[in-house]
Amino acid sequence: MKFERIGNICRVRNGYAFKSEQFVDAGVPIIRISDINSNAVKSKNAVRIKYNPVFENFKIINGDLLIAMSGATTGKYGIYNSDEVAFQNQRVGCFVIKDEEKLSRQYLLQALRFLKPVIERKAHGSGQPNISGTNIEDLEIPLPSLSDQIQIANILSKAETLIEQRKQSIALLDELLKSSFLEMFGDPSKNNKGFPFTELENFCSVIVDCPHSTPVKSDIETNYPCIRTSELTDGYISWDSMQYLDETEYKKRTLRLIPQAGDIVYGREGTYGEAIRIPATHKFSLGQRTMLFRPDLKKTNSIFLWAMVRSDFVYRQATKKNSGSTVGHVNVKDIKQFQILNPPIELQIQFAQLVEKTEALKEQYKNSLQELKNLYGSLSQRAFKGELNFPTKTS
């Protein structure tokens, strides 16, 4: 398949250095790098300037493809999707297709997604991330027939749509759990159901603080992950930044208590207030700035306590006790005294059963999401290496 230099089929137009003292409350929006988000460009929050024909050469219209050319987000891109004409700011690039009978705009968008890591590497060559229009124009992409370009763009776009739908399904399951909690237990801050409150320490058989030393990580992945505050994300363990220990370090960090499945790990410093339940998959230990609650199962349900600890009601209690200045910090003594709603254990178990069913479905959705991402990645690789071919139509 023929490969073509982007500059031969498309020009990357630079923006204009608008002066902030010229900004007005009402006027033509100026699209800056901050207005490019989630592969889309919007004028809703854009600064504005009075119309001047001098700026006509930097006009942006609905459907224009833009890219950030400097700063930490160099390489992010998006399509301008407003009927309101806008102007293009400095360090924002606009792709001007020379002949739309040779290059599909949607195909170019997919090509940019594929080239984004390359653009990022070129931009981070030295100092402040920065890339020129010429640098982008020098990149090459396969250039099949226009009909094949449209087919490739449609296939990849459909895969992306399925990915977004799966993400939305996962988000809806999270919302279901939040609404179910409120339906069953009410808003704890109002306590319109009249349940009693109990201090957190009365719900736990054990509460321990983390070892006050930096874990010595292993050079290889082991069966001994160490949970730090960076691994506490939206109620679940984030494995992206996980550090692993060797067996000796694991034993050293678990002398006081060996974490077990169902225990709750709580972040008490930095981004305090987040919590996860330990799964029965690895031999876990605690990193710095965390602590562990072991629920007393005669008094409470582990899943209910986890949900309660993560609630806005408990987070507000933590915020009131925040003793940090630049870095948030909640003392162990104050955490033990958090007020926890104490509904009947039978109701807690009902909620836990709902959570377990929802989590099983959520896990299926996550696996499906990963498969869709892998599919998109594979199709994109084949398409932009010139390996995705379509049969020639015969009359």
Residues 206 and 327 in one domain: yes
pLDDT at residue 323 in the model: 77
Both tokens assigned to 390: 């379509």
Does residue 225 belong to any structural domain of this protein? yes
pLDDT at residue 389 in the model: 73
Residues 132 and 233 in one domain: no
pLDDT tens track for 191-237: 999 999 999 999 999 999 999 899 999 999 999 999 999 999 989 99
Does residue 246 belong to any structural domain of this protein? yes
Residues 88 and 207 in one domain: no
Residue 45, sorted as left (phi over 0), alpha (psi -120 to 50) or beta, turns out to be alpha
Last residue of a domain, one of 124, 143, 162: 143
Q: Give mean pLDDT, residues 80-85.
A: 93
Residues 337 and 202 in one domain: yes
Candidates 95, 103, 113, 99; CA nearest to 149 is 103
Residues 247 and 115 in one domain: no
Q: Tell whether the model's pLDDT for residue 160 goes beyond 60.
A: yes
pLDDT at residue 387 in the model: 84
Does residue 72 belong to any structural domain of this protein? yes
Residue 324 pLDDT grade (very low, low, confident, very high; cuts 50, 70, 90): low
Q: Give mean pLDDT, residues 75-101.
A: 95
Residue 63 pLDDT grade (very low, low, confident, very high; cuts 50, 70, 90): very high
pLDDT at residue 390 in the model: 72
Does residue 162 belong to any structural domain of this protein? no
Residues 333 and 222 in one domain: yes
Q: Tell whether the model's pLDDT for residue 108 goes beyond 80.
A: yes
pLDDT tens track for 226-274: 999 999 998 999 998 899 999 999 999 999 999 999 999 999 988 788 9
Q: Tell whether the model's pLDDT for residue 6 goes beyond 70.
A: yes
Both tokens assigned to 9: 């089929």
Residues 95 and 232 in one domain: no
CB 152 within 8 A of CB 141: no
Residues 38 and 120 in one domain: yes
Does residue 172 belong to any structural domain of this protein? no
Residues 219 and 294 in one domain: yes
Task: Please name the amino acid found at residue 363.
Answer: E
Residue 325 pLDDT grade (very low, low, confident, very high; cuts 50, 70, 90): low
pLDDT tens track for 33-58: 999 998 899 998 999 999 999 999 99
Residue 125 pLDDT grade (very low, low, confident, very high; cuts 50, 70, 90): low
Using H for helix, E for strand and C for coil, what is the string for the chain? CCEEEHHHHEEEECCECCCHHHEECCCEEEECHHHEECCEECCCCCEEECCCHHHHHHEECCCCEEEECECCCCCCEEEECCCCCEEEECCEEEEEECCCCCCCHHHHHHHHHHHHHHHHHHHCCCCCCECCHHHHHCCEEECCCHHHHHHHHHHHHHHHHHHHHHHHHHHHHHHHHHHHHHHHHCCCCCCCCCCCEEEHHHHEEEEEECCCCCCCCCCCCCCCEEECHHHEECCEECCCCCEECCHHHHHHHCCCCCCCCCCEEEECECCCCCEEECCCCCCCEECCCEEEEEECCCCCCHHHHHHHHCCHHHHHHHHHCCCCCCCCECCHHHHHCCEEECCCHHHHHHHHHHHHHHHHHHHHHHHHHHHHHHHHHHHHHHHHCCCCCCCCCCC
Residues 203 and 330 in one domain: yes
- Going across the sheet that includes 65-68, the strands are 10-13, 92-97, 65-68, 77-80, 40-41, 36-37
Q: Tell whether the model's pLDDT for residue 126 goes beyond 70.
A: no
Candidates 176, 157, 159; CA nearest to 106 is 157
Which CATH number belongs to the domain containing residue 213 in this structure? 3.90.220.20
Q: Tell whether the model's pLDDT for residue 392 goes beyond 90.
A: no
pLDDT at residue 270 in the model: 82
Does residue 390 belong to any structural domain of this protein? no
CB 156 within 8 A of CB 384: no
Does residue 9 belong to any structural domain of this protein? yes
Residues 132 and 201 in one domain: no
Domain of residue 203, residue span = 196-342
Residues 127 and 256 in one domain: no
User: Whole-number mean pLDDT of the chain?
Assistant: 93
Does residue 21 belong to any structural domain of this protein? yes
Q: How many domains does the chain have?
A: 2
Q: How many CA atoms lie within 13 A of 75 on its CB side?
A: 16
